[in-house]
């Protein structure tokens, strides 16, 4: 009996430890990036003469994005509610730049599509945005918004509570949970932001090409029923 009680206590302590993040049922996880090639991905680039291979490549199980021209790599499958793990770094020895993980992408194909974003810009990982009228609610003290922006339309966003990125050139881990209207992100095991009121609809997941060479070694999704 004593051993059973301590097992239960240990389990409760584990799930309530500060900084612990639950990314979903690992048994149901699906690798969106297979570590070999770009199977399962499509793309959009603002330069119609540029092809996928001009921007994205796979070397030694790492997905490399050159960062130019502007656009995004997107899954050919649509997802609504999920836990997503993305591991990324800025190319070692280079100036870190901008990128983002786009979620529930929908509507017109454009440089910054109608979607949600978990920001990847160096120093800003953990900021959350909704573009082109995508709804989002949160802490008013961290709210940013714009109306009729040329690139973003009606935009609303919430800056991170605190940062937890590793130095540029080192690997980082994003845990992104978009569960119905709830949007929560952890960076390197620490919860850094949360928003609510997200529009619930299906759409591809996308990785931005937005200036600066960025690498990805894991993009793994767990559906939420």
Question: What are the domain boundaries of the chain?
Answer: 20-223
- Rounded Cα distance between 96 and 212, Å, is 6
Residue 36 has pLDDT above 90, yes or no: yes
106-116 mean pLDDT: 97
Residue 54: predicted pLDDT: 97
Q: Of 213, 222, 225, 208, give the one whose Cα is nearest residue 73.
A: 208
* Tens of pLDDT, residues 137-159: 999 999 999 999 999 999 999 99
| Per-residue confidence (pLDDT) for residue 26, from 0 to 100 | 63
| pTM exceeds cut of 0.85 | yes
Q: How confident is the model at residue 13 (pLDDT cuts 50, 70, 90)?
A: very low
Residue 225's pLDDT band (boundaries 50, 70, 90)? confident
Given a cut of 80, whether residue 17 has pLDDT beyond it is no
Lowest mean pLDDT of 17-26, 102-111, 116-125, 199-208, name the range.
Answer: 17-26
CB of 207 within 8 A of CB of 103?
Answer: no
Distance in angstroms (rounded) separating the CA atoms of residues 204 and 80: 9
Q: Name 40's bridge partners.
A: none
Which band of pLDDT confidence, cut at 50, 70 and 90, is reported for residue 4? Answer: very low
Q: Homologous superfamily of 20-223 in CATH?
A: Exo-inulinase; domain 1 (2.60.120.560)
């Amino acid at each position: 009996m004593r051993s059973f009680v301590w097992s239960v206590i240990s389990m409760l302590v584990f799930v309530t430890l500060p900084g612990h993040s639950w990314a979903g049922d690992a048994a149901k996880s699906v690798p969106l990036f297979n570590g070999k090639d770009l199977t399962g991905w499509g793309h959009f680039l603002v330069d119609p003469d540029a092809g996928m291979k001009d921007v994205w490549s796979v070397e030694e199980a790492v997905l490399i994005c050159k960062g130019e021209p502007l656009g995004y790599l997107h899954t050919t499958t649509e997802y609504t509610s999920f836990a997503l793990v993305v591991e990324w770094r800025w190319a070692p020895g280079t100036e870190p730049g901008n990128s983002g993980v786009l979620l529930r992408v929908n509507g017109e194909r454009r440089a910054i599509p109608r979607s949600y974003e978990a920001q990847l810009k160096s120093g800003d990982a953990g900021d959350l945005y909704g573009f082109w009228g995508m709804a989002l609610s949160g802490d008013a003290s961290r709210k940013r918004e714009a109306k009729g922006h040329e690139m973003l339309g009606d935009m609303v966003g919430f800056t991170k509570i605190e940062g937890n990125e590793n130095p540029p050139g080192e690997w980082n881990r994003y845990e992104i949970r978009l569960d119905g209207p709830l949007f929560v992100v952890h960076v390197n095991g620490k919860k850094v932001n949360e928003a609510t009121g997200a529009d619930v609809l299906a759409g591809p997941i996308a990785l931005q090409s937005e200036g600066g060479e960025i690498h990805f070694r894991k993009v793994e999704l767990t559906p939420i029923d």
